[in-house]
Amino acid sequence: MRSEKCERGLTLVEVMIVIAIISILAAIAVPNFVKLRQRVRLASCSANLGLIRRAIARYAVDSNLDLSQTVQVEQLVPDYIQVAPVCPSGGTYSTAHGRC
């Protein structure tokens, strides 16, 4: 007498199909994620530069300065900006006319 044993599991072909589907989804998702991160960095940098510009304008009015003069970001902390903004791309905001 043979006892019938029902073995359940995935065949090699089924596993390969699942891996292929996951690979295709990853290939689509990863580039979109990288682009999204870059857009977020750009938006954050732009917001920081706007914050610095507004703080410089207030500083210029209070100090009777011409807006064409260069102002160091350190001059704005803590009276016009609570803390110096950090560039999300690793750059610095060293002067009023600097770039991230």
pLDDT exceeds 60 at position 39: yes
Q: Are 52 and 87 in contact (CB under 8 A)?
A: no
Give per-residue pLDDT as tens, 64-91: 877 677 788 888 888 888 888 888 877 7
Mean pLDDT of the chain: 81
Q: What angle do CA 14, 17, 19 make, to 5 degrees?
A: 110
Q: Give this prediction's pTM.
A: 0.59
Residue 4 is predicted with a pLDDT of: 62
- Kindly list the domain boundaries of the chain, sorted by start residue: 15-100
Residue 77 backbone class (left: φ over 0; alpha: ψ -120 to 50; beta: rest)? beta
